[in-house]
Chains A and B, each alone.
Chain A
Amino acid sequence: MNKLLNFGIYCWSWIATFGVFIVVGLLLFYLLSQGLPTIGKELFFGDAPVWEAIFGQVRVWDALWPACVGTVFLVLLAALLALPLGISSGIYLACFAPKTFKRILSLLVELLAGTPSIVMGLFGFALILFLRNTFLPDANTSLLLAAACLALLILPYLIFTTQSALESLSDEYRLIGPSLGFNQMQTVFHVLIPAAGRSILSGVVLSIGRAAEDTAVIMLTGVIANAGLPQGLLGKFEALPFRIFYLTAEYRTPDELGSAHGTALVLLCLTGILYSSAFALHKTLEYRWNQHR
């Protein structure tokens, strides 16, 4: 009986592993086989001439270009908002915060990290309702609002990665500064941050990847299907993940379906590149440190 159970567990571990392998393989194969043929000028720019489309002189219909630009703007704006706050908080928590204070602050940040992205979106939506009822009757969802809500989403990631990058430095390393007569500020900015730089950067890239793929937040805060290129901070915009969602639900022609497959492949490649470069940054760092030892 016992033997049978063990054999069952053994088999299960193989089945589970290869089952998941196959599912992910199937997913990639499906996207590649259906998406690759659609990749081309047509997918990105539709019927519009390429250069005019890139510079926004010609409106692009039924194609990817406005969504690509929208996603890039959105993600950069979100990073711009979240980076200063996230990195300073990470540094403070890792190097300056007194013990109890640190515990309370970290717990609150953890709670923010656990908040579902749709709730962040709802928060943004509530903000607009609030503004409409009070100061700005014309307030509406926009690129800026979406970026701000995305910034809230990635803020905890930035804080955690910065904090753990600094905290995982070896004790001997932390002692260099004090042993040379540096004050705490000099130690942090001239010794610890340069040493943890690549890990921090890896965290930044990772959170940009998170921002690029999230759909739920922007759905409530200003993304629409046919906005064209973003018209300023207070305008509506398109984004890659939302385009996939929208086309999946509402496609009418086989062309649009093909376009959806292409978009999914493009988004997958984008996040794939971001995640693997974050991973590589982290790995080479570990490699460098191990060489020192």
Chain B
Amino acid sequence: MEPAPMKHKPFCNIRNLHVSFHGRTVLQKINFTLNNKGILVLVGPSGSGKTTFLRSLNRLNEYYPGYSGGGKIELNLSGSMQDIHCPNLELTELRRQVGMVFQTPNILPVSIAQNVNLPLKLVTGLNKAERKERLIEVLQEVHLWDEVKDRLKENSSRLSGGQQQRLCLARVLALKPKVLLLDEPTASLDFKASHRIEDLLLELQDRYQIIAVSHSLRQARKIAGQILVIKEGQIEHLLNKEQFGDQEMFQKLLNDIF
């Protein structure tokens, strides 16, 4: 188990980040420094650029046609702040260290075990025994082990939506990331499955720096250490626990923003 990151150290430093697609600006003039205070939740109206912001942290935006953007992003990856656009840092390595889970569970159409194994094999180069060990470790970490230990060879599309999403989380955790990006991880799940994922995230927050986009204010209040409000491609507010702890105040604040 990795030691917990030290509290209240800056882990993310962004200077003048801007992103546009096909000439249309999505994010502009984003500047802030963030300390580690639990899960960071991004909220904002749809189309405000939350997902784009998330994807600029692992440079996944560059995968889309028509992308242009710039700015400086530093993340606390291996104990020190690292510029993610630095040419010494390989893109594949960055994306391994900054794991991502998507809105809908996008499992690979292979067996449950293979979903975790394949990335391990391709990206880390661990041997077979080590991979097996890692597989069990991460499936236990997301509380999936007991549910699937007897059917690891089965096709993963047989799992329920919530199980699939936890499998995707396990797949990412297996690569030992430092940061976890979650893009509305419970948007396609029912109430109960959402709760399980939320509890899971609260468990994981000491081991990984988690940044999540959320569409639900209830969820944001439950899991967040800090809430970042994004509107029209800009940062509107950074709220800490005291500010959104009081439901009425929080509601009033959001009414002003939206």
Contacts and interface: CB of A to CB of B under 8 A. Distances in A.
A182 B118 CA distance: 10
A178 B122 contact: no
Contact of B92 (A172, A183, A194, A293): A183
Q: Which of A173, A178, A181, A191 has most B Cβ within 10 Å?
A: A181
B110 interface: yes
Given A191-B108, A194-B110, A195-B109, A179 B122 contact: no
Interface string B162-188: 000000000110010000000000000
A178 B63 contact: yes
Interface in B76-129: 92-96, 99-100, 102-104, 106, 108-110, 118-119, 122-123
A293 to B, nearest CB: 7
A186 interface: yes
Contacts of A174: 63
Nearest to B157: A292
B99 A179 contact: yes
A234 interface: no
Given A194-B110, A291-B157, A293-B104, A178 B60 contact: yes
B58 interface: yes
Interface size class of B (residues with CB under 8 A): 20 to 34
B96 A180 contact: yes
A contact patch SS: helix
Interface size class of A (residues with CB under 8 A): 20 to 34
Contacts of A181: 92-96, 119, 123, 175
Contacts of A175: 60, 63, 100, 102, 106
B86 to A, nearest CB: 16
Given A181-B93, A183-B92, A176 B106 contact: yes
A194 B94 CA distance: 25
Nearest to A293: B104
Given A180-B175, A181-B175, A182-B123, A194 B109 contact: yes
A191 B118 CA distance: 10
A194 B110 CA distance: 9
Interface string A25-47: 00000000000000000000000
Contact of A180 (B95, B103, B104, B157): B95
A283 interface: no
A68 to B, nearest CB: 37
B95 to A, nearest CB: 4
Contacts of B106: 172-173, 175-176
Interface string A164-200: 0000000011111011111100100011001100000
Contact of B95 (A173, A178, A292, A293): A178
Contacts of A191: 108
